[in-house]
Amino acid sequence: MRNKLATVFAGAGMLLAVAPVRAHHAFAAEFNEKAPLKLQGVVTKWELVNPHSWIHLDVKGPDGKITSWMVEGGSPNSLFRNGFTKESLPEGTEIIVEGYQAKDGANRAVGANLTYAKDGKRLFMGGSAPGSNGDGK
């Protein structure tokens, strides 16, 4: 029987039976593609919530002033399935966020690319298979 092969299927490059992400989230209204930014800061809180997780970080400006930012990321559920927990991004971790700022001007951004400041490695499951959703580089 054909479908008895319950194997893990890498699916690289394959079409997914999905509705586009925009069906659920209008990023275009929330964040400004004309306002790209790069933040370097220290994690103060990692909100493992849905529909999007949020990393809170304190960013020190050139004048030494600290500004609090919150950065939108993806649903944490798949991270859990891959063994990540709330301990996986401890307070005090220094990260770099490349993304886009909120349209309403708040200290809020979407994090298109998240890396550790110390070694430049991508947070979580950064090394996605080429051709699948995720690795645009």
Considering only residues 87 to 106 of the shown chain, the ones binding other proteins according to CB under 8 A are 99-100, 102-106
Beta strands of the chain (E only): which ranges? 31-47, 54-60, 66-72, 94-102, 108-116
Based on CB atoms, which residue is closest to other proteins, 16 or 63? 16
Looking at 39, 93, 96, 111, which residue binds other proteins (CB under 8 A)? 111
Told to check if 72 binds other proteins by CB under 8 A, we report yes
Looking at 86, 91, 117, 118, which residue binds other proteins (CB under 8 A)? 86
Q: What is the rounded CA–CA span in Å between residue 54 and residue 31?
A: 14
DSSP 132: S
**Torsion, CA 87, CA 76, CA 59, CA 96, rounded to 10:** 90
Segment 12 to 71, residues that bind other proteins, using CB under 8 A = 12-33, 36, 47-54
Looking at 37, 43, 59, 112, which residue binds other proteins (CB under 8 A)? 112
In the complex, minimum distance from the CB of residue 42 to other proteins, in angstroms, rounded to a whole number: 19
Name every residue whose Cβ is closer than 8 Å to that of residue 48 and which is 6 or more positions away in sequence: 76, 86
Based on CB atoms, which residue is closest to other proteins, 94 or 104? 104
